[in-house]
Amino acid sequence: MTIDPQKLLNFRIPAVRQTVTPRDAAFYALSIGMGRDPTDLAQLPFVDPLRGPVAMPGMALVLASPGFWLGHPDSGVDPVSVLHAGQSMVLLGPVPATGEVESTTRVTHIVDKGAGKAALIFTETNIRDDRGTCFACLERTIFIRGGGGFGGEGEAPRSSPVPVAEGNAGLVIDLTTGPEQALIYRLNGDLNPLHSDPAIAARAGYRMPILHGLGTMGIIVHAILRGRLGYQAERLRAVQLRFAAPVFPGETIRTEIWNNGAFRASVLERDVIVADQGFFTISQDEGDAVS
């Protein structure tokens, strides 16, 4: 169904306030599969409020989330046609495990790929702490199947080039997902039934409900944290990627990480790339410039 760009531009995405508690921080970490090894002491501060609380950097992806706002009838978008195509996360400060946070989200660009083809929607979300300081900026690319043909611009906004993943990866991290992973993850605020209802998943062409794209990204961030940072969450500065294929709950996500910050992820069971064009930046030591 061709989208109405004016409806989208006029749609008021609500600003959202959230009181973050240690329980929220622990729940997010558990929702992306942390704690599967109960003997891993490095993970305890993230999953046990009594040992932290420490927020996973990826929690910025769900804090004060406006939810599945494209599912609202006033957006003019068929919810079944919506796919998450890409995501970036820039951390300007520590992700709080407690306190008040507020998000504001806006549509920045709408791209028309042509009649019978897709439309792309680009959004930007800024998240501020209780002092009004922005600690995270999120940019999302949303793919609307069959949404093109409204006569808009056909070119996406230019993005910065990312390092190329050449040769063999320096690190390979395998993390399993559980069959209930999407059902748990959606309680972070994205209740899109594509991730819970088998009938709606079938309408979208999937054999079963799929894992949220941001759930996959959270697991990849965990792999980076584990493989490159020794769980020093404060050193992660930015992550960006393109979603290439869905993950089905129960599959194993393999993240390959290169020394230049490039990464990609695949599922072992199907040998399919699920995230590519990935790149992250870190500080060498706390307080240092981004590497």
200 to each of 79, 144, 146, 186, 232, how far by Cα in Å?
10, 16, 17, 15, 39
Show Cβ contacts of residue 161 under 8 Å, excluding neighbours closer than 6 positions. none
**Residue 188 CA from chain centroid, whole number:** 12
Across the strands, what pairs with 112? Answer: 119
Does residue 109 carry a catalytic annotation? no
253 and 174 Cβ atoms separated by less than 8 Å: yes
Does residue 48 carry a catalytic annotation? no
List helix spans (H) across 197-289. Answer: 198-203, 213-228
Q: What is the rounded distance in angstroms from the CA atom of residue 265 to the CA atom of residue 253?
A: 6
Residue from 24, 129, 195, 212 carrying the catalytic annotation: 195
CB atoms within 10 A of CB 43: 23
Residue from 84, 112, 190, 222 carrying the catalytic annotation: 190
Residue 7 has φ and ψ, to the nearest 5°, of -60, -45
Kindly list the catalytic residues: 190, 195
